[in-house]
Amino acid sequence: MTVRLETPQRREDHRDSRRWGARHLVAAGLGIVGIIALIALRATTAESGPSGLPDAAQDLLTLSTSVVIESLPFIVLGIALSILVQVWIPEAWMLRILPMNPWGRRAVISLFGMFLPVCECGNVPLARGLVRRGFTIPESMVFLVAAPILNPVTILTTHAAFGFDDGILVARLLGGFLIANVLGWLFSLHPEPESLLAGRFAEECRIDDGHRHGTRAEQTVDLFVRESSILMPALVIGALIAGGIQVIVPRDVLVALGSDPLFSVLAMMALAFVISICSNVDAFFILPFASTFLPGSIVAFLVFGPIIDIKMLALMRTTYSTRTLLRVTLVVGLLSAVLGLVVNFVV
């Protein structure tokens, strides 16, 4: 229970909520009619037979649509969890369970994914919520990097695909944990962590620092509007670029490089970057390649892919600055390549 103070803001809310009536119902009705109209439009246009688009354009649309449709539920889940963290869960809960020591804090944060089994695109809104809730920026990166790998769904699917063969599962989990913590440590050395954020997001954090407007329901709707307004264009554009590159770059170029210890690792990282597939299922995707590619390159794919790919960069750009993302890409890329090489030469 919280103590309710009668502030001018609250009084206004109160008056507002009393007026919750005809106008809101009409607006809600219009919203529903709008959605039905969209579905009706889709149903009628589907009857019109083949579109007559050239094959490549049609495939671009199909591929990009499939990235959007695949990511959509995870984005919604991520926004929902982010709202939960920011509006409904008392602040003290999340910060109380964390150790005081920065290494310990980051280590615990990198295991958050075990309780929040969202794949990487859903983690972006969640990480934004954590920063607004007082997590440091390097800590948000630790979460973003580790959570898609150290999460129950990913562990189950990777185990289902590879078992304990060639140390792929163990290397993926340990590698994800280590890379996340090294990255968090590196960025924690930054003198002005706020400059790591994208300008607009930093501004938003500064402005909504502390004071909140309206009832929890209003805050929920407001956050949904704001998060979707930032993430959805990024998702669609990331999906378009990912689809476009797939239509253009022949895949056999990548596959041809598969059996060289060094080039196989780089080729697999390039494939992971292009394909932008979700970490929960990437193990199944890469399984057919396991017969032609060395195990280290598979590990590099499984560690690099969840963190850095076209779709993720577009989504993360909503939160971090371009320079930050270049550095993250560089660090994660180098560490994944080293990890892949170690596995190739040791196992």
Site for another protein in 220-249 (CB under 8 A): 220-222, 224-234, 236-237, 240, 242-243, 246-247
Q: Shortest distance, CB of residue 106 to another protein, whole angstroms?
A: 29
Span of 45-53, 85-93, 166-174, 182-190 interacting with another protein by CB under 8 A: 45-53
Question: Between 91 and 203, whose beta carbon lies closer to another protein?
Answer: 203
Q: Shortest distance, CB of residue 28 to another protein, whole angstroms?
A: 4
Size of interface with another protein, in residues (CB under 8 A) = 95
x-marked contacts with another protein along 65-84 as a string, rule CB under 8 A: xxxxxx-xxxxxx--x----
Q: Is 326 in the site for another protein (CB under 8 A)?
A: no
The CA distances from residue 159 to 109, 170, 230, 340, 343, in Å, are 23, 10, 35, 18, 17
Q: Shortest distance, CB of residue 296 to another protein, whole angstroms?
A: 18
| Window 255 to 284, contacts with another protein (CB under 8 A) | 255, 275-278, 281-282, 284
* Alpha helices (H) in the chain, listed in sequence order: 8-18, 22-45, 55-83, 91-96, 102-109, 120-132, 137-146, 152-162, 168-188, 199-207, 216-248, 251-255, 261-275, 282-286, 295-307, 310-316, 322-346
Question: Between 95 and 259, whose beta carbon lies closer to another protein?
Answer: 259
Tell me the one-letter amino acid at 32.
I
Span of 32-40, 124-132, 182-190, 330-338 interacting with another protein by CB under 8 A: 32-40
Q: Shortest distance, CB of residue 297 to another protein, whole angstroms?
A: 14
Q: Is 292 in the site for another protein (CB under 8 A)?
A: yes
Partnered with residue 320 across adjacent β-strands are 197
Measured from the Cβ of residue 251, the count of other Cβ atoms closer than 10 Å reads 11
Q: Shortest distance, CB of residue 108 to another protein, whole angstroms?
A: 28
Measured from the Cβ of residue 344, the count of other Cβ atoms closer than 10 Å reads 20
- Candidate list 143, 177, 289, 304; residue touching another protein; CB under 8 A: 289
In sequence order, the 6+-apart residues with CB closer than 8 A to the CB of 204 are none
Phi, psi of 285 (to 5 degrees): -60, -40
Q: Write the DSSP assignment of 165-231 as a string of letters.
A: GGGHHHHHHHHHHHHHHHHHHHHHT-S-GGGGB-HHHHHHHHHTSS---S-HHHHHHHHHHHHHHHH
Q: Is 320 helix (H, G, I), strand (E, B) or coil?
A: strand
Question: Between 185 and 284, whose beta carbon lies closer to another protein?
Answer: 284
In sequence order, the 6+-apart residues with CB closer than 8 A to the CB of 213 are 9, 219, 222
Q: Is 185 in the site for another protein (CB under 8 A)?
A: no
x-marked contacts with another protein along 129-148 as a string, rule CB under 8 A: --------------------
Span of 98-106, 136-144, 165-173, 286-294 interacting with another protein by CB under 8 A: 286-294
Question: Between 32 and 170, whose beta carbon lies closer to another protein?
Answer: 32
